[in-house]
Structure 1
Amino acid sequence: MPSRPRRSTPDAPDVAVSGELFAPVGKGVELCYQTFGDPDDEPLLLVMGLGGPMTWWDPELCSMLAARGFYVIRYDNRDTGRSSRVGGRVGRAALVRAFTGGRSRPPYTLDDMAEDAFGLLDHLGVESAHVAGVSMGGMIVQTMAIAKPTRVRSLTSIMSTTGKRTVGWQHPSLLPSLLANRGAGREAYVKASAALWKLIGSPGFPQTDEEVRARAEETYDRGVTPQGVLRQMLAILNQPNRGPRLKSVRVPTLVVHGLADRMVHVSGGRATAAAVPGAELLLIDGMGHDLPRDLFETFATGIRRTADRA
């Protein structure tokens, strides 16, 4: 195990943080990952959403979770950040067809992305872990709990949905932004990204223009592949309805959703909680489709509370 620097925050005064490392997880995919905390603590795998690198799991939140007794593992999904790019070109017509209810064969599925996550746990020698996912990441961790229940200790699904078409929909006004060609180059990406976050962020917990721009710049600099985002999007649009299979999940489950979420309607969170026996549903007024710093304590406490039920 390489030596790790220490990260201090008011809630995590002395948390060990690894450098960015790489794990081969099979089928030519290599994931970039980073850890926070003591490897002897309870493993907690954090899975980010569409086009989001692991840095969208804020280091302050990761350190807070580590201070609560977790060995925190965050990573870039395939086609994101510094992880592997996967082949297969997706045309805009295929996306439009999928958005309107048609089916297109995606280059990979959410099941494949769940297997990536299990591959990372294998690489780290982790037999089972608590898992938490945001948006697409919530879909991935739900899939993990269904596919290999003995490897999931607890489940936290944040601003996500079951895959059923009649719940968790996007606000129609977002579709032009989601399908638009952002143009080439760093500045074009940053401008388009900032505009989208203004549409989907939390109205009750607004971020400054500087914070939004800084996140977009960091995301671009880690590595952005427009085709990779489209491949992930097609995997989401072709996901099955997990509702019936979620009824078999027996691990402690927390579902968190913002009442102001325009990217994934709150009906998706409600449906997820209704499908999993004994799930806790936490609805937050003013929260949109992001992880506001003002809610870090709420997220960390909820994940810890759910893990303790295991």
Structure 2
Amino acid sequence: MSGLSEQLLNVHGVELCVETFGDPADPPILLIHGAAASMDYWETAFCELLAAGPRYVVRYDHRDTGRSVSYPPGKPGYTGTDLVRDPVGILDALGIGRAHVAGLSMGGGIAQQLVLDFPDRVRSLTLIATSPLGDDLPPAADRIKAAFATEATPTDWSDPDAAVDALIAAEKLYAGTLPYDEPARRALVRAMIARTTDLESAMTNHWILPDDDTPPLRPRLGEIRVPVLVLHGTEDPLFPPAHGEALAREIPDARLVLLGGAGHELPEPTWDTAVPAILAVTSAG
């Protein structure tokens, strides 16, 4: 089984690149990845496992990533609210009324906002390597804080080799203790770069989005009424496991599954646990 050809959809007046796997008659799962991450990071083999569920799997490029609309580096023409509205527009364009939604990292934040602002569009929620945020939760690991505090030489994003090296180094920084398949990851990153309109924009613009005064989500988590699965790595250096535990505690009836050895990621060694758990939560609703 392989994904259908990518398609550019008109969503809220801009073009977003979308790819689907499986039969549109099966329950739909919309996958939302993290900041600066194109659809490539939802690996094709992972999407195929879900589609065999059977599920109708939808992955897409955020604005400024992959083949979706691109803005000049340093000048994103959108806000975080637009990134929340884009998944709704994609569902509209595909004729999907309600979908199961899975979000990773920033995508998990988008998914939380989505279910709270558009509850009639979400059938279930899977939150991966994400957080409800709050000063009461443990900080990032020292190596992450050090990386943020260090003024590194800027990457020349127009140099594919330098870009691959920088992105692999960042992945390793956020990885856990599970085996890291560097050749496979380098191949994935090279493929992502090859289909990205402007890599500098992709690596810049999500981090400088203007503040659109969105109220904190955490006080509203108790409003969520759909089945919820929380997947969280035991070695996540950005959001230690207490972040996932807080989500599972504060969202009614949420199920927490800790992924042993995983970092801020959903690597292939976790799929034997993660995929059945996602298929289970998406069998309801």
Q: Deviations over 1:223-245 (max 9, x none)?
A: 15334433322449986531111
Q: Provide the rounded CA distance (Å) in 1 between the counterparts of 2:128 and 2:173.
A: 19
2:42 aligned partner:
57
Match of 2:155 among 162, 171, 182: 182
SS state at 1:282 partner: strand
Instruction: Tell me the TM-score normalized by structure 1.
Output: 0.83
Match of 1:294 among 260, 263, 269: 269
Question: Aligned runs of 1:1-310 on 2, under 5 Å?
Answer: 6-7=1-2, 17-26=3-12, 28-86=13-71, 89=74, 108-167=78-137, 169-175=139-145, 177=147, 180=152, 181-184=154-157, 185-203=159-177, 205-223=178-196, 224-235=198-209, 240-310=215-285
Q: Provide the rounded CA distance (Å) in 2 between the counterparts of 1:273 and 1:129.
A: 21
Change (3 A) 1:46 1:242: same
Instruction: Tell me the TM-score normalized by structure 2.
Output: 0.90
Q: Provide the rounded CA distance (Å) in 1 between the counterparts of 2:142 and 2:135.
A: 14
Change (3 A) 1:87 1:226: closer
Q: Provide the rounded CA distance (Å) in 2 between the counterparts of 1:221 and 1:168.
A: 37
SS state at 1:197 partner: helix
Offset at residue 169 of structure 1 (A): 4.0
Contact 1:107 1:231 in 2 (8 A): no
SS state at 1:32 partner: strand
Q: Provide the rounded CA distance (Å) in 2 between the counterparts of 1:153 and 1:54.
A: 21
Offset at residue 44 of structure 1 (A): 0.6
Contact 1:23 1:33 in 2 (8 A): yes
Change (3 A) 1:228 1:213: closer
SS state at 2:223 partner: coil
| Bigger relative contact order (CA 8 A; separation at least 6) | 2
SS state at 1:167 partner: coil
Offset at residue 85 of structure 1 (A): 1.6
Q: What's the % identity of the aligned pairs?
A: 36
Q: Deviations over 1:58-97 (max 9, x none)?
A: 111111111112110011111111111245836xxxxxxx
Change (3 A) 1:225 1:201: same
Change (3 A) 1:45 1:281: same
Q: Provide the rounded CA distance (Å) in 2 between the counterparts of 1:169 and 1:83.
A: 33
Q: Size of the alignment, in residue pairs?
A: 279
Contact 2:71 2:201 in 1 (8 A): no
Q: Provide the rounded CA distance (Å) in 2 between the counterparts of 1:169 and 1:38.
A: 42
Letter in structure 2 aligned against 1:54: M
Change (3 A) 1:302 1:66: same
Change (3 A) 1:245 1:172: same
Letter in structure 1 aligned against 2:222: K
Contact 1:258 1:285 in 2 (8 A): yes
Letter in structure 2 aligned against 1:288: G
SS state at 1:247 partner: helix
Q: Provide the rounded CA distance (Å) in 2 between the counterparts of 1:84 and 1:246.
A: 31
Letter in structure 1 aligned against 2:113: T
Offset at residue 139 of structure 1 (A): 0.8
Letter in structure 1 aligned against 2:20: T
Contact 2:143 2:173 in 1 (8 A): no
Contact 1:177 1:196 in 2 (8 A): no
Contact 1:169 1:268 in 2 (8 A): no
RMSD: 2.3
Change (3 A) 1:236 1:247: farther
SS state at 2:245 partner: helix
Q: Deviations over 1:25-70 (max 9, x none)?
A: 11x4211011000011111101111211111111111111111121
Q: Provide the rounded CA distance (Å) in 2 between the counterparts of 1:46 and 1:36.
A: 11
Change (3 A) 1:226 1:164: farther
Contact 1:109 1:239 in 2 (8 A): no
Change (3 A) 1:87 1:183: closer
Q: Deviations over 1:127-159 (max 9, x none)?
A: 110000111111111111010101100000000
